[in-house]
Structure 1
Amino acid sequence: MKILEQKEHFKNQLSGIYPSEEIQSFFNILSEKYLGFTRLQIALDPKVEVTEKDSEKFEKALLRLKKHEPIQYIIGETEFYGLPFKVNKHTLIPRPETEELVEWILSEKALPTQISNFNTILDIGTGSGCIAISLAKNLQNAEVAALDISEEALQIARENAKLNSAEVTFFQTDILKAETLPTQYNIIVSNPPYVRELEMEKMQQNVLKYEPNTALYVKDVDPLLFYRAISTLAKSHLKPDGKLFFEINEYLSEELSALLTSEGFRNIEVKKDIFGKDRMVKCNL
């Protein structure tokens, strides 16, 4: 089968399930993964032959896409903050708003008053390790640590640290049961579970069916459960002038700000993402 025929077959199989632009994106991603062909190369040489073995790879991918499995899980990788990351069913797929959180933290480093305040960093609920590893790569002198409840996620995070030649110390902890942390930190950052059960009906099928529930959802009765546990620990484990950063539920910024105030934090700043949604919080003691 020629690459152009493979492309048309791929499009026809997914038509009506996904928008045409997304189907095109899927095909380009798989072509580069399976064939090493860029979109431009396919356009310039549409008659190149696809081997039977490679065609079978596309068919297997089609079956998984028809079930709404995320393309990142199908190819086993994604990109975050310009770096490659392995992902699987035990890790969330990193989101653009989390890149914005990393950018916000790094922008703080440029402030004249913050030159020596980025020596120790802890990422709570690290998943694929995307936050911790991106910070470690961009803060060469910082000691970065990261924890997660899932040993399977930590295995992927360790692989990602090695893949990106990043020095990060990983350890397994249930933050809801933790009474202490290993040391004091200049920065504590977390993207904890924050999607309420009542919001699940708004989630896309590829998220509901495939991404790990424990990393996404919280009970409606106590949606700030993780923020409360983390802020309580942060009070006794942030160094003087240390900062706490969170990714947050866009609908709960006021409630979280009130919680942080009650815990004794000050200079609470809520930051919007590029879509104008409240998605990040920064504060200090």
Structure 2
Amino acid sequence: MSIFRFKEFVVSQESCPMKINTDGVLLGALANVSNAKHICDIGTGTGVIALMLAQRNKNAKIDALDIDYRAVDTATKNFENSLFHARLKCYHHSFVEFFEMNPLKKYDVIVSNPPFFLNALKADSEMKNLARHTDISFFLDLLRVAATHLEVRGSIQLIIPLDVSQAIQQLASDYHLSISEVINIKSFVDKEAFRQIIRLSKEQAQICKNSDFVIYSREKEHSMEYRAALKDFFTIF
């Protein structure tokens, strides 16, 4: 499906190498952005996460970054066609390049649905390789950027597999970041989590909030919590 219709915006994804997926919409729905005035979306793809955050937070201005020019073209058009176009801007840069060019930029929230197949076999498609594969240096750069470019009370929020999450949590303190929230994403209540949304904060967290989020109540039937999280976005709810 090249066009995905949400309740308040439309996302074209025809020329974008990475399509809308469950990870992205969950981050868009569950990221904590209630008081954020400036948000950065790293690896924006179609721009769907940025659009969801713009809908949720009417006061936020959002910079979206992507290294793939086709993704940037797609996201830019999706932004321009939305009600939130004045608060959204897309840049064709890696996040490292972007922050080197903008050393004084600060954000309340940085979000990312990042590439995560560490040391995995590469796919046939070169574009998908670019969007989906990385190594640990990517995440080290991500933590370094967060440590430098988050506001004092800012946070970076990622949706990632558990092995990547574990590695990042072990490294976080080296960058003066504290784990303040972990959401365990499960397909079914009796299954192991297959993703985590983690929130790393500049402020030292007294406790880490830990919760589960279950997508399905039974086969092909979304859970009530999934419906509640996506009801403002998906036309099927």
Please report the TM-score for the alignment, with normalisation by the length of structure 2: 0.72
Match of 1:250 among 144, 162, 166: 162
User: Which residue identity lines up with residue 280 of structure 1 in the other structure?
Assistant: I
Mapped contact 2:159–2:195 kept (Cα < 8 A): no
Q: Which has the higher contact order (CA 8 A, sep 6+)?
A: 2
Mapped contact 1:193–1:217 kept (Cα < 8 A): yes
Answer yes or no: is 1:163 the counterpart of 2:75.
no
Counterpart in the other structure of 2:198: 281
**Structure 1 pair 192–97 and aligned structure 2 pair: CA distance change class (3 A):** closer
Number of aligned residues: 193
Q: Whose radius of gyration is greater, 1 or 2?
A: 1
User: Which residue identity lines up with residue 95 of structure 1 in the other structure?
Assistant: N
Match of 2:94 among 165, 174, 177: 174
- Counting only pairs closer than 5 Å after superposition, residues 51-66 of structure 1 correspond to structure 2 as none
Following the alignment from structure 1 to structure 2, what is the Cα–Cα distance between the partners of residues 78 and 224?
Answer: 33
**Structure 1 pair 81–277 and aligned structure 2 pair: CA distance change class (3 A):** farther
**Structure 1 pair 151–209 and aligned structure 2 pair: CA distance change class (3 A):** closer
Counterpart in the other structure of 1:213: 129
Answer yes or no: is 1:235 the counterpart of 2:144.
no
Mapped contact 2:29–2:53 kept (Cα < 8 A): no
Q: Which has more helix, going by share of residues?
A: 1
User: Which residue identity lines up with residue 93 of structure 2 in the other structure?
Assistant: T
> After alignment, is 119-128 or 253-262 more displaced?
253-262
- Percent pairwise identity: 22
- Report the 3-state secondary structure (helix = DSSP H, G, I; strand = E; otherwise coil) of the residue aligned with 1:283: strand
Counterpart in the other structure of 1:64: none
Counterpart in the other structure of 1:94: 20
Counterpart in the other structure of 1:189: 111
Question: Any runs of at least 4 consecutive aligned residues in structure 1 with deviations exceeding 6 A, and if so which?
Answer: none
- Report the 3-state secondary structure (helix = DSSP H, G, I; strand = E; otherwise coil) of the residue aligned with 2:30: helix
RMSD of aligned residue pairs (Cα, Å): 2.4
User: Which residue identity lines up with residue 154 of structure 2 in the other structure?
Assistant: G
Please report the TM-score for the alignment, with normalisation by the length of structure 1: 0.61
- Report the 3-state secondary structure (helix = DSSP H, G, I; strand = E; otherwise coil) of the residue aligned with 1:196: coil
* CA distances 1:153-183 after superposition (whole Å, capped 9, x unpaired): 1111011112222230111212244535462
Mapped contact 1:80–1:99 kept (Cα < 8 A): no
